[in-house]
Amino acid sequence: MGLNMERISDALRGTVRIEISGSFPESLLNTAALSGIEVWNIECLDAWTVCLDCYENRLPELESAAMDCGCDLKVLSRRGGRGSLRFARRRLGLLIGLGLAALLLFASSLFIWRIDIRGSSRLSRGEILRALEDSGVSVGSFWPALSVEQVRSEMMQRLPDVGWMTVNVSGSRAVVLIQERISRPEIYRESGSVDLVAAKGGLIRRMNILAGAPKVSAGQVVIPGELLVSGQRASLTDSGESVRARGTVMAETWVELNAVCPLEEELKTPTGFSHSRFALIFGKRRVNLYFSSGKAIDACDKIISEYTLGMEGLFSLPIRVVRERIVPCRYTVGDGCDREAMARRLYTGLEQDTEGQILQYSLTEGSDGGLYVLTLRAHCNENIAAPVERTQQDAGKEYYDR
Amino acid sequence: MKKNKELTWALAEKLDLPGDLVPGAGRVTVSGGRQAVIEGHRGILDYSEERVTVSFVRGRLSLLGSGLRLKAMNGDELLVEGEIQTAEWG
């Protein structure tokens, strides 16, 4: 920074490179030092010639000192100072243009031209942008007039899922930081009456009951919805005691899952001859740099990329370049079934649905009415007990609708 | 005049003062054999790429070396750069 300031100072004051020749050029250096004339970059060319730099405004004094010392002084080059002023006078239009550009850049930096959203997972970008626009933050907003507190309070009213938010503006770029509200966890109540019913049908192998009265026993076959453990426990008093039935009921189950897919479907294949077209967006106004925008491009894939002009972290210009890459496609009829993917998804579904072990499974292929059918049959050993809140109407019930 | 200077030096020695506090005393700082800052000089007597001789109130200093260059100069200070091999006081 110091070096740059020195350079700016030198450029404003103006410096000259001079050549001094004489029988004793050192005498001129001494005279200059005694007169307080600053000299630097003193280069000895030979015993009688020396080159040096000095400020342009001290040149007349140095010239007169050179005459007194019997030296010849020759100006080799000039930098900055009056020379720059002459340069500027000759290129006044360019300088005015540069000044205007700087002024426009400064004015443009007072408006928001780009909005980045961070920290949202449940809320979509569109929802947040709409709410921000209603709260006064949009592309083209004058950001010095924004009140972050007001925007925050309005946003939290409009979007109940927002727990906290703030807007940071740097160089025409607004960064919206969002902290989403954490949903309240489900409260587990110790009291109340809960029954355990069969989530799936199967053959009971083992029961481990922690609370409640068992209604079935090992070796018994149950159907889905059948009461396994009752939350109504017999008491020493006349009225029965209500508890939350807890425990595991391990049973052998047989599961069948199906996946279907049309044997013939339209497949899209890119023809390989893609082309791009461009548009400019000034603030909110779009200018297409192409004709025939109404032309149907149904048989094409359109990939849109948007670029904001500016320098990251410094400034953004109110101009965005839009590139639309259009890839023409051809439709063909073919077999669109990915059998491996279907089998993988069936097995993943079975794993997610089974609260225990998969003992064995098999896959069967078939077709039905133009559809490809993949069937997965599995034999599992799993916990089939599922808790169900029991109401007064459920009293004495042995089967629940599953 | 010369007597006064002698007296100043004698007094400084008696009082155990550092030499650079004596008015008119020169000071030379050589850094890494590549740069020398000379303060309190009274002018250049000789300047070439192999030798720079500087005058002081009491004597003269010759810096010997190769590629010697006067980087900057003002009424009190001198900055010499280059391969400084020897400094002779006389």
| B1 pLDDT more than 60 | no
Q: What band does A297 get if pLDDT is binned at 50, 70 and 90?
A: low
Least confident of A70-84, A243-257, B32-46: A70-84
Give the separation between CA A247 and CA B79, rounded to whole angstroms: 91
Q: What is the pLDDT of residue A238?
A: 59
B18 shares contact with chain A (CB less than 8 Å): no
Query: Is residue A94 packed enough to be buried (19+ CB in 10 Å), middle (13-18) or exposed (0-12)?
Result: exposed
What mean pLDDT value characterizes chain A? 85
Q: Is residue A282 situated within a structural domain?
A: yes
Highest-confidence segment of A43-47, A160-164, A254-258, B14-18: A254-258
Q: What band does A11 get if pLDDT is binned at 50, 70 and 90?
A: confident
Q: What is the mean pLDDT of residues A21-44?
A: 88
The CATH number covering residue B73 comes to: 2.60.40.2000
Closest CA to B68 of B41, B42, B39, B33: B33
What percent of chain A has pLDDT above 70? 93
The nearest alpha carbon in chain B to A51 belongs to B70
Write out the residue range of the structural domain in which residue A21 sits: 2-85
Same domain for A30 and A77, yes or no, is yes
Specify the 3-state DSSP secondary structure of A11.
helix
Residue A26 and residue B45: Cβ atoms within 8 Å?
yes
Which residues does chain B have within 8 Å of residue A40's beta carbon, measured at their own beta carbons?
A: 71-73
The CATH number covering residue A144 comes to: 3.10.20.310
Provide the number of structural domains found in chain A.
Answer: 4
Residue A26 and residue B44: Cβ atoms within 8 Å?
yes
Which residues does chain B have within 8 Å of residue A25's beta carbon, measured at their own beta carbons?
A: 47
Provide the number of structural domains found in chain B.
Answer: 1
B67 shares contact with chain A (CB less than 8 Å): no
Q: Is residue B39 situated within a structural domain?
A: yes
Reported ipTM: the value is 0.74
Q: Is residue A219 situated within a structural domain?
A: yes
Q: Is residue B18 situated within a structural domain?
A: no
Which residues does chain B have within 8 Å of residue A44's beta carbon, measured at their own beta carbons?
A: 47-49, 69-70
Q: Is residue A57 situated within a structural domain?
A: yes
Q: What band does B2 get if pLDDT is binned at 50, 70 and 90?
A: low
Q: Is residue A360 situated within a structural domain?
A: no
Write out the residue range of the structural domain in which residue B52 sits: 25-89
Give the separation between CA A114 and CA A171, rounded to whole angstroms: 10
Report the DSSP beta bridge partners of residue B21.
none
The nearest alpha carbon in chain B to A23 belongs to B46
Task: Please write the tens of the pLDDT for every residue from B35-67.
Answer: 999 998 888 898 889 999 999 887 889 999 999
A335 shares contact with chain B (CB less than 8 Å): no
| A315 pLDDT more than 80 | no
The CATH number covering residue A9 comes to: 3.30.70.260
Task: Please write the tens of the pLDDT for every residue from A371-386.
Answer: 889 999 999 999 999 9
Residue B49 and residue A29: Cβ atoms within 8 Å?
no
Half-sphere exposure at residue B46, Cβ-oriented, CA atoms within 13 angstroms: 11
> For residue A97, what are the CA distances in angstroms to A87, A104, A105, B34?
15, 10, 12, 47
Q: What is the mean pLDDT of residues A300-308?
A: 84
Residue B44 and residue A47: Cβ atoms within 8 Å?
no
Task: Please write the tens of the pLDDT for every residue from A335-383.
Answer: 778 888 999 999 999 999 898 999 999 999 988 888 889 999 999 999 9
